[in-house]
Structure 1
Amino acid sequence: MIWSFSKRFGVGLGMAAIAALPLHAQALTVPVMEHATEDWDTCGQGQVHGLKSDGDGFLAVRTGPGSQFDKIDEVYNTDKVFLFDQHGDWFGVLYGVEEIDCSPITGSKPAVRPGAKAGWVHRDWVRVIAG
């Protein structure tokens, strides 16, 4: 993958920064972060795949990177997700929109885009298609 996840953790948010986030982002226990990189886009693109039709049929979107976090939404096979963050086997994603600007930034910040939803999904069910 083009973007490096090795420096993506340990970024704390103050209460003022959390209060400034949209309500959907505030619902996340662990915010999805957009990280500054040198000359690289801040996100990749993925597609939900491999969900069995005889199983649940959806991939749970959670408030943080782990099954112990609350489920806040569902995504389905072929849904597009934009990959911004990673913690272990969990991707921090934005989704629910066709396109997202992932241009390089100068400082790390919460990943927020108009109309996009944010959350965490298990990487086993996401095929990285760009990034």
Structure 2
Amino acid sequence: MSMKAFLPAAAFVAAAGLWLGGSTASVAQYCEGTVHGLSGRYNLATGSGFLAVRTRPNSSSRMIGQLFNGDHTEIFDRRGNWYRVEIGGTTGWANARWLRNDCGY
């Protein structure tokens, strides 16, 4: 393929990936993670004793679930310090600091 034909094709593939919800900054890879290192005492008011699962990869987005020490979860993606995880059939984002994994990243 000539370079002239390659550039529009590459631009189309990148645009299609973003349109479908992908991100050039994310790494799409499947793996499993285990929650670790959380405080032993559960306190919803202070946010301790659980790992919040959120709608977006940031701490100010709405919490949609919780994970606890020893819980296993599927990890589908990473954006910065956040993993996209599954909890009860719903996907959300959890802080990567509290998840051990075999992802290689």
Instruction: Normalising by structure 1, report the TM-score.
Output: 0.52
More helix by share: 2
- For residues 50 and 11 of structure 1, the distance between their equivalents in structure 2, rounded to whole angstroms, comes to 34
- For residues 34 and 70 of structure 2, the distance between their equivalents in structure 1, rounded to whole angstroms, comes to 6
- For residues 90 and 20 of structure 2, the distance between their equivalents in structure 1, rounded to whole angstroms, comes to 19
Kindly report which structure 2 residues correspond to 1:1-131, keeping only aligned pairs within 5 A, or say none.
11-13=18-20, 35=28, 42-54=29-41, 56-96=48-88, 116-129=89-102
More strand by share: 2
Aligned-residue sequence identity (percent) comes to 39
**Number of residue equivalences:** 80
Structure 1: give runs of 5+ residues left out of the alignment.
1-6, 15-32, 36-41, 97-115
Q: Check conservation: 2:65, 2:87, Cα contact below 8 A.
A: no
> RMSD over aligned Cα, in angstroms?
2.7
- For residues 34 and 82 of structure 1, the distance between their equivalents in structure 2, rounded to whole angstroms, comes to 14
Distance 1:80 1:43, change over 3 A: same
Q: Check conservation: 1:47, 1:129, Cα contact below 8 A.
A: no
Moved more, 57-66 or 47-56: 47-56
Cα displacement string for residues 31-70 of structure 1 (whole angstroms, at most 9, x for unaligned residues): xx994xxxxxx40010011101136211000000010111
The residue aligned with 2:7 is none
Larger Rg: 2
Post-superposition, which runs of at least 4 consecutive aligned residues in structure 1 deviate over 4 A?
Answer: none
Q: Relative contact order (alpha carbons < 8 A, sep ≥ 6): 1 or 2 greater? A: 1
Distance 1:81 1:71, change over 3 A: same
